[in-house]
């Protein structure tokens, strides 16, 4: 984009703050927010939020490094967690209610992957059970969690969320959102 999308404003809040607050409300827990490039700017957006930020010094290696960094920080803070909910800030139409439905599905069956379904795919936001933490920790630097989702369709629950299809990756995407 040429500027940090985490700090873009939508409905009076930065994208990163919206996602963090939705995750906090949906889970009742302090979310771990992984920051990398522009960490100081992103941290400033979260200054008053009930979150734990962790800096991924290897952010330039790819999304896999950020997932591993966040999971490690989560396990240090809450070693007993039964699952990890991955939320991206660039899906601004994903609501607290959708995240709650993912969490409720997890609580009903803690051995399942709970993915969001949209635009003919399944993906983030997604909740992985503890049994797949090892797979997340072994992600290649440039790999997201999609491969883990597709390899575990035997234990997959998909929660519909058309809003997750709105993804802000370009200036055109942001203009369309506004």
**pTM for the structure as a whole:** 0.95
Rounded to whole angstroms, the Cα distance separating 136 from 13 reads: 30
pLDDT of residue 175: 96
DSSP-assigned states of every residue in 8-40: -EETTEEHHHHHHHHHHHHHSS--EEEEBTBHH
Q: Reply yes or no on whether the pLDDT at 88 is more than 90.
A: yes
Rounded to whole angstroms, the Cα distance separating 166 from 154 reads: 27
Ramachandran category for residue 11: left, alpha or beta (phi over 0 → left; psi -120 to 50 → alpha):
left
Average pLDDT, the chain: 96
Rounded to whole angstroms, the Cα distance separating 102 from 90 reads: 18
Q: Reply yes or no on whether the pLDDT at 71 is more than 90.
A: yes
pLDDT of residue 2: 85
pLDDT of residue 1: 78
Domains and CATH numbers, the chain: 5-177 (3.90.550.10)
pLDDT of residue 138: 97
Q: 78-87, pLDDT tens digit by residue? A: 999 999 999 9
Output DSSP code: residue 5. Answer: G
Q: 169-178, pLDDT tens digit by residue? A: 999 999 999 8
**CB of 5 within 8 A of CB of 33?**
no
CB atoms near residue 121 (< 10 Å): 14
Q: 112-161, pLDDT tens digit by residue? A: 999 999 999 999 999 999 999 999 999 999 999 999 999 999 999 999 99
């Amino acid at each position: 984009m040429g500027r940090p999308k985490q700090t873009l404003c939508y409905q009076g809040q930065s994208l990163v703050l919206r996602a963090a607050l939705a995750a906090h409300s949906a889970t009742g827990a302090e979310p771990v927010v992984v920051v990398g490039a522009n960490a100081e700017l992103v941290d400033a957006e979260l200054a008053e939020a009930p979150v734990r930020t962790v800096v991924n010094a290897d952010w330039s290696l790819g999304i896999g490094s950020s997932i591993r960094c966040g999971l490690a920080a989560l396990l240090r803070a809450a070693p007993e967690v039964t699952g990890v909910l991955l939320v991206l800030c660039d899906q601004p139409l994903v609501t607290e209610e959708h995240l709650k439905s993912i969490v409720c599905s997890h609580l009903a069956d803690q051995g399942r992957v709970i993915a969001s379904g949209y635009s003919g795919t399944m993906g983030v936001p997604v909740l992985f059970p503890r049994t797949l933490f090892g797979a997340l920790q072994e992600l290649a630097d440039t790999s997201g969690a999609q491969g883990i989702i597709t390899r575990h369709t035997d234990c997959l629950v998909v929660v519909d969320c058309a809003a997750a299809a709105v993804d802000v990756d370009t200036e055109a995407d942001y203009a369309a959102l506004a």
